[in-house]
Amino acid sequence: MLISLNWLKGGLQTDNISDEELVKLIGARLVEVEGVIDQTHKYDKIYVVEVKYCEAIEGTHLHLCKIDDGGVASDVERDENGYVQVMCGAPNVHEGMFAVWIAPGAIVPQTYNTDEPFEISMRKMLKKYDSYGMMAGADELDLGDDHSGIVEINPALAKPGKTLSETFGNLNDKILDIENKSLTHRPDTFGILGFRREVAGILGQKHTTDTWYTAPEQLFENDSSVELDIQIDENLCPRYTAIVFEATEPNVNPYLDFDATLLARSGMRAVSPIVDATNIIMLATGQPLHAFDYDKFVAVGGSKTPKIIVRAAKKGEKLELLDGTVAELDENDIVITSNDIPVALAGAMGSASTAIDENTKRVILESATFSLYNLRKTQMKHGIFSEAITRFTKGQPAGQTKAVAIRFAEKASKYLKPLALFDTQKTEPAPIEVSVSLDQINGLLGSDFSADEVKTILENVEFKVSCDDNVVNVIIPFWRTDIHIAEDIIEEVGRLSGFDNIAPVLPLHGTSTPNEMFALKSQIRNHFSARGANEVLTYSFVHGDLMQKVGQKPENSYKIINSISPELQHIRQSIVPSLLDKSYANLRAGHDQFALFEMNQVYPRNLGVDNQQVPQGSHELGFVFATQKEQSNYYIAKKYLESLLSSLNISFEIVEFESNETNSYYEPKRSATIKSGDVVLGYIGEIQRKVLRGFKLTNGTAAFELSMAKLLSAKGEVNSKDFRTSDYPAVLRDITLTVASDAKYDAIEAQLRAVLDGFIYKLAPTSIYQAEGSATKNLSFHIEFAAPDKTLTKAEISDIMKKLEAVK
């Protein structure tokens, strides 16, 4: 929302505060000001001039003009009458008109505050005519979109040499760019009136809203011959006020007017006097208005007198809107109908069939409120984000429709004569009253307000306040639709007086309980990164194709219905596929080998829902080891796995692989299940070749995955790191065992350890060798052992060695 600071400041005492400080205060106590667009010098050296002489130059679209600028411009050549020569290509330029002249040295307003401001100078045209400055169109002045001709100023206002800015009050303005989001609950601040009331409160000034808004008086008699029937559904349209007008002047204004300048500074554009009046009133009050052509309205409905029926649209109903698009409606949309024929999409846009134009004889003005919930959906469905619907979807108060309609009648009195006012609301509802104790206020804010202070703060913004001991009773004005409970009042007191004036104080409270899962994650993060692995994060959402590639069923995955792209359509079932997916890019980037790991939550559907019917997730660790070169990476992955599990003091076994619904990407012949007792901790293995082909990864790429919750429950007590040495000499031996090619390593190692039981020993495998075609393989170990209590004799050593060498 754009707000003209000049407009806002009208009626406020701001002499003692700089604009900068005012904006700061607004930011601290009302709403974030995203930016201030400084237009203070936007209209410098731009004047109203009279065209004294105008001659078309044959064979061109140009006119040679002499203008009277009241002699204000410098650096220009003047003729004997003191007039300045300007060439003009606009078709509507004519002698005697008052135009707007951008003098040499001025910036064309359209380009002001852009990257390339354009400064006007003297130009030579058609090689021989000097042209000083330019006469401007509405678009060049940034006061409209019209480029069909130059703007004309009403002679009644015009004085040659007067600046454009002065001519229209003061265009030297600053525009506040307001972040709407934090005002979602404050419909009143979407009008200058309400915004100004807040600023008054912030400045500690008492604001009094004009009675035309708070106690509207209808200044015209209803013409009893005028009939209008209004039927509303109060759930969709709580209140509908309408005034029937008779046109007294055609709805055209050939001149640039003040409204156009105000609309431009509020981010809108002038259209026609009546439409402009509706928009100006909306900007002032927050209440959008709509004008129907009475005769067209009646013609569409086929009734004798207008019959307005506000109802929910029917599914499939169509309505051609003002902008030419045809909206397909459904039951959520609200339509204004003429005798049941839709003529407007309520709150959003009217239709061409009832639009006012230059020939409009009579007008029906609508000032109504609609269900913001319905309008919000309408807005989303039809993609309409006008200034009007933006205000409606904040929930404009029903209390203002009549006052605003009457205000419009005054504003548009030059063009329209009011005949009769109709209103669906016969009596004003009683205002809401909220009570709050002083203790509640100070107890929630940590402040020290007195009852008088609270009263003043609230009364400044027109709450009616009475104090009863320490209880503050507040009557809520109708425009504050956001105030319902004591806390709402407490917020107002804190906000208007400045939350920043409340002293920050640390509370005293207990100590924290450690979080095991975070501690575990931290430990794993440290463990792997210290061993050259890289922690990554990847999206929780994956492509259906990715699941297909790794053999996971899409049905086992929650599907996002409004995903950004197909790549992000499913919630992943496990982490390893995401890591495989990210490996290729890293290989291609030139990394020869790497270990990626991620700890995150996964939500396969087969985990079901918890007792609150919310999907159950699982914290998982995924790890992938990928290499540029084709090689078996199972053993390096296993080394990472084993080092982690032993650092966590988890006793585990690596047993035959069991596949399940989510782990089908492992190659069963080269994979294993990781168990601790009866509990499956996870899986390790090389990835199937056809899966790897899908990811363009080399054969032998290996991975493992672990359930973090199971790691936590399996996490053991500290393993004894007791380091024992013997006082007696150790025996150092390298041995090689020849065993059957299908003999399992762990069985062999277990036998060796059984032999060495009771000694202080070290046992380290050094190689596994198998000659091509051989039915046996050689396992080599380096062994050191000593007795705890004596020096081993040769015979004893030889006996042990024999036992070791007999293992197979």
Partner 1 sequence: MATLQELKNELKKLNAEYAKIKDLPADQRADFGKELNIKKQQINAEIAAAEAAAEQEDVAPLDISAPCDINGQMPEFLTADFGSKHPLMTELDRVIAIYQSMGFDIAESVQLDDEYHMFDSLNFAKGHPARDGYDTFRTEEGFIPPAHTSTMQNRVLKANAYKLEEGKAIAVAVPGRVYRNEDVDATHEHTFYQCEGVYVSKDCTLGNMLGILREFFEKYYGQKLNIKTQPGYFPFTEPSLEFLIEKPASLGGKGDGWLEMLGCGMIHPNVLKNAGIDPTKYQGFAWGGGIDRLVMLRYGLSDVRNFESAKLDFLKEFTC
Q: How far is the CB of 428 from partner 1 (least distance, A)?
A: 25
Largest CA distance in the chain: 134
Q: Which of 302, 615, 729, 788 binds partner 1 (CB under 8 A)?
A: 615
* Cβ-based nearer residue to partner 1, 133 or 494: 494
Is residue 613 a contact residue for partner 1 (CB under 8 A)? yes
Here's the x/- map for partner 1, 50-89, by CB under 8 A: it reads as ----------------------------------------
Q: How far is the CB of 560 from partner 1 (least distance, A)?
A: 5
* Cβ-based nearer residue to partner 1, 127 or 669: 669
**Cα distances (angstroms) measured from residue 475 to each of 410, 429, 485, 608:** 30, 13, 12, 51
Q: How far is the CB of 554 from partner 1 (least distance, A)?
A: 12
Token pair 């709050």 is found at 436
Q: How far is the CB of 606 from partner 1 (least distance, A)?
A: 14
Q: How far is the CB of 662 from partner 1 (least distance, A)?
A: 16
Nearest to 481 by CA among 399, 574, 590: 399
Q: What are the residues whose beta carbons fall under 8 Å from the beta carbon of 537, sequence distance 6 or more?
A: 598, 600
Query: Using CB under 8 A, which residues numbered 155 to 184 contact partner 1?
Result: 181-184
Is residue 667 a contact residue for partner 1 (CB under 8 A)? yes
Q: How far is the CB of 374 from partner 1 (least distance, A)?
A: 9
- Rg (alpha carbons) of the chain, rounded to whole number: 41
Q: What are the residues whose beta carbons fall under 8 Å from the beta carbon of 265, sequence distance 6 or more?
A: 2, 4, 6, 7, 39, 171, 173, 175
Which token pair is 155?
């002679």
CB under 8 A: which stretch of 112-120, 136-144, 280-288, 649-657 binds partner 1? 649-657
Query: Using CB under 8 A, which residues numbered 513 to 552 contact partner 1?
Result: 513-515, 517-518, 521-522, 525-526, 528-541
Query: Using CB under 8 A, which residues numbered 97 to 136 contact partner 1?
Result: none
Token pair 């800015």 is found at 165
Cβ contact 68:52 at 8 Å: yes
As a whole number of angstroms, the distance between CA 335 and CA 205 comes to 42
Q: Which of 82, 254, 758, 765 binds partner 1 (CB under 8 A)?
A: 765
Stretch (H or E) spanning 5:
helix 5-9
Here's the x/- map for partner 1, 707-746, by CB under 8 A: it reads as -------------------------------------xxx
What b/e readout covers 267-284, taking b as 16+ CB neighbours within 10 angstroms? ebbbbbbbbbbbbbbbbb
Is residue 474 a contact residue for partner 1 (CB under 8 A)? no
HSE of 483, CA atoms in CB hemisphere, 13 A? 23
Is residue 768 a contact residue for partner 1 (CB under 8 A)? yes
The three-state DSSP-derived secondary structure of 201-255 is HHCCCCCCCCHHHHCCCCCCCCCCCCCCEEECCCCCCCEEEEEEEEECCCCCCCC
Q: How far is the CB of 436 from partner 1 (least distance, A)?
A: 12
Is residue 37 a contact residue for partner 1 (CB under 8 A)? no
Q: Which of 94, 147, 185, 762 binds partner 1 (CB under 8 A)?
A: 185
Q: Which of 8, 22, 30, 236 binds partner 1 (CB under 8 A)?
A: 30
Which token pair is 58?
């044959």
Classify 709 as helix, strand or coil.
Answer: helix
* Cβ-based nearer residue to partner 1, 74 or 565: 565
CB under 8 A: which stretch of 92-100, 161-169, 484-492, 783-791 binds partner 1? 484-492
Q: Which amino acid is located at 670 in the chain?
A: R
Classify 65 as helix, strand or coil.
Answer: strand
Query: Using CB under 8 A, which residues numbered 618 to 647 contact partner 1?
Result: 631-632, 634-636, 638-640, 643
Q: Which of 17, 28, 467, 680 binds partner 1 (CB under 8 A)?
A: 28
Q: Which of 129, 220, 258, 594 binds partner 1 (CB under 8 A)?
A: 594
Stretch (H or E) spanning 687:
strand 679-687
Which token pair is 74?
């410098």
Q: How far is the CB of 373 from partner 1 (least distance, A)?
A: 4
Q: How far is the CB of 359 from partner 1 (least distance, A)?
A: 39
* Cβ-based nearer residue to partner 1, 52 or 605: 605
**Long-range Cβ pairs for the range 520-528 (8 Å, 24+):** 520/648, 520/708, 520/711, 520/712, 520/715, 521/599, 521/708, 523/647, 523/648, 524/597, 524/599, 524/621, 524/644, 525/599, 527/643, 527/644, 527/647, 528/595, 528/597, 528/623, 528/640, 528/644
* Cβ-based nearer residue to partner 1, 24 or 315: 24
Query: Using CB under 8 A, which residues numbered 273 to 312 contact partner 1?
Result: none
* Cβ-based nearer residue to partner 1, 423 or 567: 567
> Is residue 81 exposed (0-12), middle (13-18) or buried (19+ Cβ within 10 Å)?
exposed
Query: Using CB under 8 A, which residues numbered 562 to 591 contact partner 1?
Result: 562-564, 568, 571, 578-579, 582, 585-586, 589, 591
Is residue 775 a contact residue for partner 1 (CB under 8 A)? no
Residues touching partner 1, count (CB under 8 A): 127
Cβ contact 698:627 at 8 Å: yes
Q: Which of 130, 205, 617, 712 binds partner 1 (CB under 8 A)?
A: 617
Which token pair is 113?
């505050």
